[in-house]
């Protein structure tokens, strides 16, 4: 019985690893422009009360915020969540030193921060008054444009090289992380 359980677990892990490899390859085979439509969609939606929840829950994800948080505790909870996410994303390691592996790490970091940014934005949509949310929506649209332009400019120093997309995604991840902190510290109650 124990032998069959071990074999079953091994087969499941191999299948999971194969799925991860194929999804990482698919996400890295695109052009140098990474999909970042989720932020654009949130910024352009008039009804931003729903958060963008991915069906693909990563193991690095931090636990969801309890629904019974009071306003003051919510900010503290999210600051803790941001700090935990920082630690987790910094500990994502490349499988080797190839550019492909480094890009995979950068993509995972960006996706983690982008998902958290969308979650924070959704919380703020419920918390802020309509006028404040309208102002934040405009600020978010401006920030997205600046973020994308900053990442593009940074990547141009490697234009045409294998490092171009790596630099682009790395800058996206860093700026998105910074924006998460800005939103929690500046807007969340």
The answer on pLDDT for 51 being more than 50 is: no
Q: Is the same domain home to 21 and 44?
A: no
Regarding pTM above 0.75, the answer is no
What is the count of structural domains for the chain? 2
Q: Is the same domain home to 58 and 23?
A: no
Q: Is the same domain home to 93 and 177?
A: yes
Q: Is the same domain home to 151 and 79?
A: yes
Return the pLDDT at 70: 59
Residue 122, C-beta contacts closer than 8 angstroms, at least 6 positions apart: 42, 48, 49, 50, 51, 52
Return the pLDDT at 42: 41
Nearest to 36 by CA among 134, 153, 117, 114: 114
Q: Which CA distances in Å does 189 have to 47, 56, 105, 127, 128?
A: 20, 29, 33, 8, 9
Structure-token pair, residue 156: 């141009």
Return the pLDDT at 45: 39
Confidence of residue 189 (pLDDT cuts 50, 70, 90): confident
Its domain, for residue 110, covers: 35-187
Q: Is the same domain home to 107 and 15?
A: no
Q: Is the same domain home to 120 and 146?
A: yes
Q: Is the same domain home to 61 and 149?
A: yes
Q: Is the same domain home to 21 and 74?
A: no
Q: Is the same domain home to 160 and 67?
A: yes
The answer on pLDDT for 13 being more than 80 is: no
Q: Is the same domain home to 26 and 53?
A: no
Angstrom distance (rounded) from CA 169 to CA 32 = 9
Q: Is the same domain home to 12 and 62?
A: no
């Amino acid at each position: 019985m124990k032998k069959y359980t071990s074999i079953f677990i091994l087969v499941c892990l191999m299948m999971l690893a194969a799925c991860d490899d194929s999804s990482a390859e698919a996400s890295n085979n695109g052009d140098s422009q990474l999909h970042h439509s989720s932020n654009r969609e949130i910024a352009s939606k008039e009804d931003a009360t729903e958060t963008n929840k991915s069906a693909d829950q990563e193991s690095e994800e931090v636990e969801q915020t309890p629904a019974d948080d009071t306003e003051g505790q919510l900010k503290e909870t999210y600051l803790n969540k941001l700090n935990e996410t920082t630690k987790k994303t910094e500990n994502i390691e490349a499988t080797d030193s190839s550019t492909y592996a480094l890009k995979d790490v950068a993509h995972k970091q960006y996706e983690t921060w982008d998902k958290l940014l969308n979650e924070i934005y959704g919380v703020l949509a419920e918390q802020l008054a309509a006028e404040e949310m309208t102002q934040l929506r405009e600020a978010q649209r401006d920030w997205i444009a600046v973020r994308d332009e900053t990442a593009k400019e940074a990547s141009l120093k490697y234009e045409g090289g294998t490092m171009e997309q790596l630099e682009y995604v790395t800058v996206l991840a860093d700026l998105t992380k910074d924006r998460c902190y800005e939103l929690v510290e500046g807007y969340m109650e």
